[in-house]
Amino acid sequence: MSAIVLFAHGARDPEWAQPFEKIRQHLQQTLPATTVAIAYLECMQPTLDEAISNLSAQGIHHITLIPMFLARGGHLKKDLPALLANIQQQHTELTLHISPAIGEVEDVLCSLAQWIGTEFQKNKTH
Amino acid sequence: MSAIVLFAHGARDPEWAQPFEKIRQHLQQTLPATTVAIAYLECMQPTLDEAISNLSAQGIHHITLIPMFLARGGHLKKDLPALLANIQQQHTELTLHISPAIGEVEDVLCSLAQWIGTEFQKNKTH
């Protein structure tokens, strides 16, 4: 069985999680047979370790991890690899596919630029 | 004259800025007559204050500010309003339109969910 894990930064403010929860719901509607989970680097739960342990306990051993980060810095270059090395040691049965971070995907950047352009034109005409 | 300012978090790693620079370039191609600037909350330059002072010095007094944040937490609820209050005091001629953060826009979340779904399907079939 396969699952998607959206891996986000986390924050002290509970409202911060809303966009990720909305994306999770969109995905869950499109892929009703696939578990879609969210995991956080800090401040929020579950952690990546907790989320993956939960999935593994359900017999899910193929996970696509989506780094929900706009840009690559220390969190993706250092923190995430360290977490993953530890997780792979604990769950040797696990196949983990780490996707590019959303800010590394040309299509995502293009569609963001398009929305920003529309937003700008809307304000200009008001 | 109008401008767009992409307001991003910033990080110590210079590579972190790349996606915002790519979005700026996309926008600049679509809107060649509009100045598109990037400003950072921390670690990188220019700051929001510096970016807006630069634009103002060029005679640009209508600015659409796009918070390049996936989610609303302390940075958008406290830091940004404090910065803006200070900027408005210094630049009374300025009309500032603050757009929703990218993670508050339903269309943006939908297109992210679509891309994630495609990425997941691609891995499943490999």
Residue A32 has, within 13 A of its CA and on its CB side, a CA count of 1
Query: Cα Rg for chain B, rounded, in angstroms?
Result: 16
- Across the interface, whether the CB atoms of B16 and A71 are under 8 A apart is answered yes
Percent of chain A residues past pLDDT 70, beyond the cut: 98
Task: Give φ, ψ of B100 to 5 degrees.
Answer: -60, 155
Select from B6, B112, B118, B121 the residue whose CB has the most chain A CBs within 10 Å, as the one to mutate to test that interface: B112
Instruction: In whole angstroms, give the CA distance from residue A68 to residue A122.
Output: 28
ipTM score assigned to the predicted complex: 0.94
> How distant, in Å, are the alpha carbons of B4, B10, B66, B108 from that of B39?
10, 9, 10, 21
Instruction: Count the neighbouring beta carbons within 10 Å of the beta carbon of residue B2.
Output: 18
pLDDT grade, residue A58 (50/70/90)? very high
The pLDDT score that the predictor gives to residue B124 is 76
- Across the interface, whether the CB atoms of A119 and B110 are under 8 A apart is answered no
Nearest residue, CB atoms, B109 vs list A26, A70, A74: A26
Query: How many residues in total does chain B contain?
Result: 126
The pLDDT score that the predictor gives to residue B126 is 55
The pLDDT score that the predictor gives to residue A54 is 97
| Position A60, amino acid | I
Q: Nearest-CA distance from A40 to chain B in Å?
A: 13
Nearest residue, CB atoms, B108 vs list A4, A110, A115: A115
Average pLDDT, chain A: 95
A54 token code pair: 């939960």
Q: Global pTM? A: 0.94
Catalytic residue among B9, B61, B75, B91: B9
Chain B residue with the nearest C-alpha to that of A17: B71
A9 flagged as catalytic? yes
| Position B16, amino acid | W
- Tens of pLDDT along chain B (126 residues) come to 899 999 999 999 999 999 999 999 999 999 999 999 999 999 999 999 999 999 999 999 999 999 999 999 999 999 999 999 999 999 999 999 999 999 999 999 999 999 999 999 988 765
The pLDDT score that the predictor gives to residue B119 is 94
Kindly report the CA angle at B20 between B91 and A10, in degrees rounded to 5? Answer: 95
B96 token code pair: 């500032």
